Amino acid sequence: MQRIILIFIGLFILIINTKAQNSFILPANTGYAVPAEKDEEFLFQPGKGVQNWTDIHQELHYFFYLRNAGLLTIELNAKNALAGSVIALEIAGKTFKINIPQTEVFQKIKVGSLHITDSGFYSIKIKAVKKQSNAIADIASIELSGSATNELHFNKKARRNAASVHLRYPISDTTRLISFYNEITIPEKADIVHSYYMSNGFARGYFGIQVNSENERRIIFSVWDAGKEAVSRSKVADSNQVKLLAKGEGVIASDFGNEGTGGHSHWVYPWKTGVTYKMLVTALMDSASQTTTYTGYFFLPEQQKWKLIASFRAPKDGRPLRNLYSFNENFVGINGQLQRYAYFGNQWGQRENGSWVELTESKFSYDATGKAGDRIDYGAGVEGGMFYLWNGGFKPATAKLGDNFSRPATNKKPTIDYSKNADSAAQALKDHELIFNAIKNKQIDTMGNRYGVYYNLLKQGTGDKVSINDTLTVYYKGYLLSDGTVFDQTKEKPATFPLKRLIRGWQLGLPETKLGSKIQLIIPSGLAYTIRSRSNSIPPNSVLVFEIELISLKRATAN
């Protein structure tokens, strides 16, 4: 008899434990509203559940993964100050109607049961059928039990963002890259609000396209400060802060914090799905000052021209581009249930000697949300000759942490023509305003201009006239009109070079001058280096001043 009693007690304990193991509480604040709420913690409140649900047209959606078939029983923990509200709960094609009782405290309500026939992601949709008072219902949680819930997975945390996913492009430690080129395409209906599709990431920053709202999209380029401050840029020493050197027309530049700190720039631009956009980041290293100038360029397909986004000088660096990567990010959680998708293709890196190397390998990874197992809906792969990334959507994962992918080579290295500048007309006006103000303030003097190059003849020579095909020997000094920074000059010995190999401003300004002349050239950026970040001392869109003394010339030999 005693043995029978012990067996009975053991079975009872086993049943209780099994029930406990197969019962899961989904906090109501981990769901999503459709349409999405405007305030992230107004409807879904951490630790409190759903409150302020008043819109009868707004649904509540919850997602979880069932690894087993079997019985699924659903209970709702809800309340309302007045009786009469009715809601409907839909799951796996079955609908349950629920009367919300009048109660000041949360009350468990039995919803019903159904049989789950297959594993996979499931959703619960809660809709308002009838609203008796201003609020439809306050909901604390949803309880799931039954054999189908064995090993059930759901995101328990209040953070509702999809996991950020990354592709890293491995390069040799000995490969010194000064440019990183990538192409990005967002497919139709994947342009989800609160998405950042980052194309050209590197150790000190990132460059990509963003959906900020239903009505605004941006191109984003940012570079991190040196040091370890994570939140406030006001706490970052000036010696650790990146410096803005130049930005394109209409680009907004500011600071950023809360994810490290640094210099931020964005340009509002209505990029479209289904269109492939070309993006380029360049790096100019200065080992002496331990700085690197990073510049972001965006190609406008409708104009077939490059646009400068911004150029930043990063301290405590002096190194080339490294740790190259792309990512998808869902940066606000109110619509973290939606799938984000991006294609990345034709990646190339440019070496210091100007040659290009194609980057055809990538490695998949994800952020802390993925590593903690909070979200398991993500993936990557190769399709149509391009890498792709996706996150969100509550679909089964298609890639694992550390998976490697290889795309076919295109052999289509990029052709970068900086002279095709989308802001050339606006920049020309700025250049001329700077030049006229410098003349007015007697900072410089001029005798006029030759094909757009302003000049001041300091000494008239008596020798032969210079022609475009000559090789010149000169003493010179070059500096920025904006602040007088000397970026280059000869020392004891003069320099010799063919005139045809020099910037357009020299080619236009020097012919017709005579050997032995001393001349000052004031060259607008469009006739100098345009939007190129030529060196750490010459930012994009710089008006240059050269003082030149013509020592000798050598005529080109006739063929």
pLDDT tier at 480 (50, 70, 90 boundaries)? very high
Q: Which of 479, 180, 225 is nearest to 347 (CA)?
A: 180
pLDDT at 6: 40
Mean pLDDT (whole number) for 155-171: 96
Judged on CB neighbours under 10 Å (0-12, 13-18, 19+), 307 is: buried
Question: What SS3 state is found at 40?
Answer: coil
Q: What is the mean pLDDT of residues 37-56?
A: 92
Same domain, 343 and 456: no
Q: Examine the domain organization and report whether 208 and 344 are in the same domain.
A: yes
Check residues 448 and 546 and name the one with the higher pLDDT.
546
pLDDT score recorded for residue 558: 59
Please indicate, yes or no, whether residues 232 and 362 belong to a single structural domain of this protein.
yes
CATH of residue 100: 2.60.120.260
pLDDT at 559: 54
Flag whether 156 is in a domain.
Answer: no
Position 15 confidence tier, pLDDT thresholds 50, 70, 90: very low
- What tokens does 108 get? 């468990």
Q: Determine the pLDDT at residue 5.
A: 45
- Is the pLDDT confidence value at 18 over 90? no
Q: What are 214-244's pLDDT values in tens digits?
A: 999 999 999 999 999 999 999 999 999 999 9
How many domains does one find in the chain? 3
| Residues 241 and 359 placed together within one structural domain of the fold | yes
Share the mean pLDDT of the chain: 93
Residues 129, 174, single domain; the answer is: no
Question: Domain of 370?
Answer: 165-406
Last residue of a domain, one of 380, 406, 432: 406
Question: Which of 176-190, 263-277, 447-461 is the least confident region?
Answer: 447-461
- Does residue 175 share a domain with residue 116? no
Beta bridge partners of 282: 179, 295
pTM: 0.90
pLDDT on residue 204? 96
d(C-alpha 323, C-alpha 200), whole Å: 10
Q: Tell me, what CATH number does 221's domain have?
A: 2.60.120
202 shares its domain with 345: yes
Judgement on whether residues 473 and 391 belong to the same structural domain of the protein: no
Give the per-residue pLDDT at 22: 74
pLDDT digits (tens, 9 = 90+) for 253-303: 999 998 899 999 999 999 999 999 999 999 999 988 999 999 999 999 999
Select from 149, 182, 208 the last residue of a domain: 149
- Cβ-proximal residues to 437 (8 Å cutoff; 6+ apart), any chain: none
pLDDT of residue 428: 94
What is the mean predicted confidence (pLDDT) over 104-118? 95
Beta-carbon contacts of 325 under 8 Å, excluding residues fewer than 6 positions away, are 166, 167, 168, 169, 201, 202
* Same domain? 193 vs 137: no
pLDDT of residue 370: 97
pLDDT digits (tens, 9 = 90+) for 297-347: 999 999 999 999 999 999 999 999 999 999 999 999 999 999 999 999 999
Tell me what the mean pLDDT of segment 58-85 comes to.
Answer: 95
| The 3-state secondary structure of 51-117, one letter per residue | CCCCCCCCEEEEEEEECCCEEEEEEEEEEECCCCCEEEEEECCEEEEEECCEEEEEEEEEEEEEEEC
Q: Is the preceding peptide bond at 35 cis, omega within 30 degrees of 0?
A: yes
Q: Which of 149, 177, 194 marks a domain boundary?
A: 149
414 lies in some domain: no
Q: Among 26-30, 350-354, 491-495, 553-557, whose mean pLDDT is lowest? A: 553-557
* Measured CA distances, 219 to 188, 277, 427, 462 (Å): 18, 11, 20, 54
- Confirm whether 280 is domain-assigned: yes
- Closest listed residue to residue 420, CA positions, set 244, 301, 524: 301
